[in-house]
Structure 1
């Protein structure tokens, strides 16, 4: 009887432990399992830091990379490197029980060394608007902050739904999104910002190009003749603020975007990071494209 009871207790313990384990699937398709909610997290991308805060886990971040500057509290988190080089010794010294990385933003060689440490790693790379809400929920599960995470993900989903309902069926506006000016680079359809353009009733003129961030020629832009040209800036578009990155286009006065004054700059942090703030960037773009519609000849 004693043996049976002991075995029963042991079996109950094993079952309880199995039920206590937390498992989610990250953006690489791999399973990430923790024995208990993460209490010490290292973030290896600025967008990851924002997602962790949104999920209710900001106070648990013990290390982050350069440019992890939002929200304000993130600026006080100890730095462990940047997207080019990581301080692996410092990461280990922080004793994290979870590391969240950007698969295509952190150096591959260092990623191999990081994975060899045996610390659970979650790869974060939201590729679609819906992925942002999903990422917040998954991180909330790993942190044990599901309620906070769900509130944030639901709010983001509602904001995007409102914009889609208001703008997606408006008359289309052809858009060239300029990622970089030298060399001239843009984005194809395999990027979350392409979805934002469509959300606002826009059409990405280089959606079919390859690779995801293709280099293009000035002639290609002139041939596409977009109705609006958009780029990322340190701040929002202001009537009296010059846009040096877009000045190159002003020499072609017959270009539709130039002729109608549709050269727009949007705060880069709002459109380049797949975080809840992307809803704010989307709202700015939607307003800019609506302005482009209003400037059409009557």
Structure 2
């Protein structure tokens, strides 16, 4: 049901305003005219806004909004987990795009109480990423570019689905943090990208979206592949730590693979780039059997 709602939610609604969409909290968000002054409240949302063709309308973003390159010069209004409300109000935005599960709820509520318009984003499926881009495009008046970007993304995902539909399964440990050691469950987009490539998340059944785990749990599960990001786009140090566990199948077969974190950990069109690289890594693991 969630996926169907997400696919339909970008449709413009007639409600006496120039444009209305339904956000990921199933709230109707209306603007009297396309947004001209947008603030993005997560690095992923900054990237989504550029992907929708509306990057030129961004007046500020949060820390670590580093893609595309143009985003690096945007004024900062704090981090995604604590932002400067006075600075936000002073910039007179006509649209805030918030991260439903990542931004402080009390700060978002205070900004709404001041009359600011907030669109809440929380993609859980590949289709949600596409529909988010379409909806941002609708709110910003950049529908043509947004729809083209969304179409390319969905087409690429469908291509991978077809290519790996019958691929032999590969048991995978996805490491998203080092200290504490963290992974993802099956509801996370990273796990869905893993499954797209024929991978099997060894911690799929855990209840939390991004749970902490014990080292012993990884050793006991003995994954065939370990995939990790790092503290930066080129930092592979997390994988080096695993080499001391030479009893692990992933270590014994040299199946320790790096994927730049922003291509898998942000719900943006670049998830397709990360998924393609991940699929290549799992193909390598199959060849090493």
Contact 1:180 1:186 in 2 (8 A): yes
Match of 2:105 in 1: 108
Q: Verify: 1:205 aligned to 2:202, yes or no.
A: yes
Match of 2:96 in 1: 99
- Per-residue CA distance 1:211-265 (angstroms, 9 max, x = gap): 11111112211221111000113346xxxxx842133322222211011000111
Contact 2:29 2:119 in 1 (8 A): yes
Superposition RMSD in Å: 1.5
Match of 1:32 in 2: 29
Q: Which of these two proteins has the greater Rg computed from alpha carbons?
A: 1
Match of 1:72 in 2: 69
What secondary structure does 2:83 align onto?
A: coil
In the alignment, which of 264, 267, 287 is matched to residue 271 of structure 1?
A: 264
Q: Which runs of 4+ in 1 moved over 4 A?
A: 17-20
Q: 1:272 to 1:18 in 2, by over 3 A?
A: closer
- Inter-partner Cα distance in structure 1 for 2:285 and 2:153: 26
In the alignment, which of 121, 125, 129 is matched to residue 128 of structure 1?
A: 125
- Inter-partner Cα distance in structure 1 for 2:91 and 2:212: 40
In the alignment, which of 251, 261, 269 is matched to residue 254 of structure 2?
A: 261
In the alignment, which of 277, 293, 296 is matched to residue 286 of structure 2?
A: 293
What is the deviation of 1:40? 1.0
Q: Verify: 1:176 aligned to 2:173, yes or no.
A: yes
Contact 1:173 1:289 in 2 (8 A): yes
What is the deviation of 1:20? 4.2
TM-score for the superposition, normalised by structure 1: 0.88
Match of 1:45 in 2: 42
Contact 1:168 1:198 in 2 (8 A): no
- Residues 182-221 of structure 1 correspond to what in structure 2 (within 5 A)? 182-221=179-218
- Per-residue CA distance 1:88-127 (angstroms, 9 max, x = gap): 1111111111100112222222122111111110011111
What is the deviation of 1:159? 1.2
Structure 2 residues without counterparts, runs of 5 or longer:
1-13
What is the deviation of 1:190? 1.4
- Inter-partner Cα distance in structure 2 for 1:100 and 1:168: 35
- Inter-partner Cα distance in structure 1 for 2:53 and 2:188: 26
Q: In the comparison of the two structures, how many residue pairs are matched? A: 275
Match of 1:88 in 2: 85
Structure 1 residues without counterparts, runs of 5 or longer:
1-16, 237-241
Q: 1:18 to 1:217 in 2, by over 3 A?
A: closer
Contact 2:17 2:30 in 1 (8 A): no
Match of 1:162 in 2: 159
What is the deviation of 1:168? 3.3
Contact 1:126 1:274 in 2 (8 A): yes
In the alignment, which of 118, 125, 134 is matched to residue 137 of structure 1?
A: 134
- Inter-partner Cα distance in structure 1 for 2:233 and 2:69: 17
Q: 1:214 to 1:21 in 2, by over 3 A?
A: same
